[in-house]
Structure 1
Amino acid sequence: MGADGVESVEEFRARARAWIRANLRPLEAHEEVGIMRPTRTDEEELAAVARDREIQKALFDAGLAGICFPPEYGGRGLTPAHQRAFNEEITGYEYPQRLQVPTFAPCAAVLLEFGTEEQKRAHIPAILKGEEIWMQFLSEPSSGSDVAAALTTAVRDGDDWILNGSKIWTTGAWWSDWGLCLARTNWDVPKHRGLTVFILPIAAAGVDVQRIEMLNGVKEFCQEFMTDVRVPDSDRIGEVDDGWTVGTRWMFHERMSSGSPYVTSPGTSAHHRIGPDWLLDIARGTGRLDDPLVRDLVGEGRVLDLVGAALHPRLALGMTTGRLSDQAAAIGRLYSGVCATRLTTIAFDIAGGAGAAWADDDGAASDVGADFLMRQTATIGGGTTEMARNVVSERVLGMPREAALDRGRPFREVPRGGRSGG
C-alpha cells in the first residue's frame, strides 16, 4: 500500500494476476473472433450470459470489480492506470464480455454523472455484481444516426410518464435487464431541447422485444416496441426537456466504448476480435504466408493494431488532463470503425477462395466471407463513423457546422415521414 493507504498499481496488478490465474479459464486462440458469428444456440447464449454474471460477481467478491467506480457505490475508487493493469492481466482469459459495453459504458457512466443518489445506490452496486445488464434504448427506425430526432414519446401522467414508440439495433436486449431510454417530452421546441432520459426494466409491462435476424443468421440485434409503458418520475435521469445535456455525455461515453476507464477490455488482438495474429493464421492455413502481397497485408494489419494501441491511451490521457476536449473521443470511435472494417477486408483478401466458399475444417479462414459481408457493422454500432467525422470536424477542429433545415424549428413543424408527434 502507498502512504495514503491506496493499493499501488503494481500491488494491484500482482493481486489481480494471482486471482485471474487461479479462477478464470484460459481462452483458446482466436476464441469468438469474427463479427457476431452465430456460434451458439439460444440456450448456449443464455448459459454464456449466466457465466458472465457469475464471473462479474466473483470479481466483485475479490475486490476486482468497478475499479474506477466510487467506493460508496461498491467500486474500488482506483485510477485508470489500475484498470489498464487489470486489462493487461486478464488478456488471454475469460472475462464478463457482455457486461462491459453498454452496461458499464455508457449506461453506468451516465448513471454516475446524472443519476440521483437513490438511483446510483440502487443500480450501480447491482451492475458491479453482475445482477443487472443494461442496454441503451437510443436508435430508432425513423431517425438513423440522428438520435435527437427521437419520436418515442413520454407524456406526464401524475407521478408517472407514459412511453410509446420503438427503439432498434439493441444488441442482446432479449437477455438484458434494464434500458437507458431517450424520449421526446416536448414537441414545441427544437429537437435537441425537448428530450428527456429515463430508465426502465426491459421486462416492464408494455415492452415487446423482437429479435432481428441478420444476413449471417445471428439474432442478437433487437427492436423494442413500447406501448403505454408506465415509468415513475423517480426513474427519470436529469431534468425534463434537458435530455440532450445527458445525451451529449451519453454519446461521449458510447464513443469511448472499450477505451473507457470503467470497462474491462483485454489488451490483445488474439481473442474476441480481428487482429494481426488472426491474419497470420489465415495466411498459414491457406498456404499463402510466403506470398509478398499477403505479407504486406499482414504487415498493414499489424500497423493498424499498433496505431490503435497507441491512439486510445493517448486520447484518454488527453481528455483526462484537459489537454483535449471530451469530444476527442470521436477520434477514437472513427479510428476503431475504419480500422475494424479494413482488418475484415484484409482477412477476406488473404483468405482468397476460402473467403467465398469454406468448410468447417478450414480453420481461421472459415466464416471470413460472412465477416466481410457484416463488416459495416463496425462503422454503425456505437455511433456511426459519419457522426464521428462530424464531431471531429465541427467540435474538435472547429470547422463550420453543416447546414440543417430543422435547426431552430419546433420539432412538431419539421417535415418527416411516418406518424407525426403530439
Structure 2
Amino acid sequence: MELFGKLEQKQLEKAILVHVDFYHEADREVLEEFYELVDSAGAEVAELITTKRQSPDPKFFIGKGKAEEIKEAVETHQADVVIVNHALSPAQERNLSQFLDCQVLDRVGLILDIFAQRARSHEGKLQVELAQLKRMSTRLVKGWSHLDRQGGIGARGPGETQLETDRRLVQGKIKQLEARIEKVRQQRSLGRRSRKKSDLPTITIIGYTNAGKSTLFNQMTRASVYAEDRLFATLDSTLRKVHLPGAGPVIFADTVGFIRHIPHDLVAAFRSTLEETSEADLLIHLVDAADPHRTEKMADVEEVIKEVGAEEVPQLTVFNKIDRLKDPEIQPHVDLNDEGLPDRVWISAKESEGIELMLDAVAAHFRGKFKTVELVLDVKAGKKRAELYTLGTILDEGFDEEGNSVFKMSLTENEWEQVKQWKEVLSFKELSEENV
C-alpha cells in the first residue's frame, strides 16, 4: 500500500483558493504565482477568497468570520480542497480542516504535492518523500484513542498510544530515507570529484522556477530535457559536456527552480542536488526579463544561494524572454563589468536569440584557465587527430609543406601536458594572446 506517494491519494479537483494580503511586505505572497502553482498541481479553481490582515489569526489564520465565508463556498461549489497561499501551522491547518469539513492544503503542502508529481529520478523521489514525511511528523494527531493499550493488573501505565506508534513508524521511515539519500549524495560527490580531477569547469544554471532554465539548457547542449511553461516543470538536475569556442570543454548543469519562501525542508531535502550549485565554477542566474516581479525574485534566488553556501561562486546574470518585453529596442546583447568581463546577457532561449552571445560570455570567464597552443601532428596519426577533436577546442587547422596537420587549439593544462607526451606530435608551442 503506497502511503507516501503524494500528500493525498485522491486527485485534487475543485479548489477554493484563499489569499491574505498582509500589511507587512515580508509576509505577502504573489497572487499570480499562487494561480500558477495551483495550475501546476492540476486543480480546478472554483472560487478565490481574499482578505486583509495585520497578522495571522492564531486559530484559523484567516479569522472566524472569513472561515465561515470559506465554509459556505465549499458547500456551494462542492469543493474537494481549500488551498491557502501561506504556510499554516499544524494546529491552524487541523482547525481549519475540522471546521470546514474539507481537506486543507497550505502553500508548503501545495509545493510538495507538485514536487511529488514531477519527480522522475530515484533521488528526486527519495527527496520528495523525505520532505513529506518530515512535514507529516509534525501534523500527526491522536486518531484512535480506543486502540490505546491501557494498563491493568500487572501492567500499570498508559502503554503506547496509537499516536506514539504512528510517530515511531514515521521517524523510522525518515531515518531509512536519510540513509538512502546520503548514499546517493556520496555517489554524486564521487562524480563531482572525478570532474574536478579532469579540470572540467562546471557551469550551473540557477533561477526562479519557470524562468526558462530547461529551455536554455536544451539550446546550449542540444539536449532533450523536458521543458514546459509551468512552475517546477523539471526537478532533477541534468549534466552535459559542451565545447566552448576559445575555452574548451565544460560541464553544464541544470537544477531545480527556486521559489519565494521555499520550504526549509525542501532546501534540506534537495541539498545534494543543490550542491551542484555550491561546487560550480560559474553560476548562470537566469531571470525572466518580462516578469514584473523580477527584482524581488532575483533577491529570493540570492537568498537560496546563500542558504546552500554558494554566495562566493562567480555569477553571470542572463535575462531571458526578451521577446516578451514591450520595448522592441531591447535586442540580444552583452553588458560588461568594470573588469571587462561579461556581467549581463540579454537573450530569448525560446526563439534561439542571443544563445551564441551567451556561450561566448560564459567562455570569457574561463579563457584564462586554458592554454592556447599550436602543435604539428604527424600526417599518419589519424586516430590522434580524431582524439584532438574530442579533447579540446580546435580554433584552426592547416597543413605544413610535408602534409602534417597544424592545429591551433585551446586545452586545459592537464590536457596540454598529456598531448605534449604523444610521439605523434612533431612540434608544439604555447601561444601568447598576441599570436592567438
Confirm or deny a common fold (TM above 0.5).
no
TM score, norm. by length of structure 1: 0.25
The structure whose residues are more often helix, as a share, is 1
Mark the structure with the bigger radius of gyration.
Answer: 2
Kindly indicate whether structure 1 or structure 2 has the higher relative contact order, using CA contacts under 8 Å at least 6 residues apart: 1
TM score, norm. by length of structure 2: 0.24
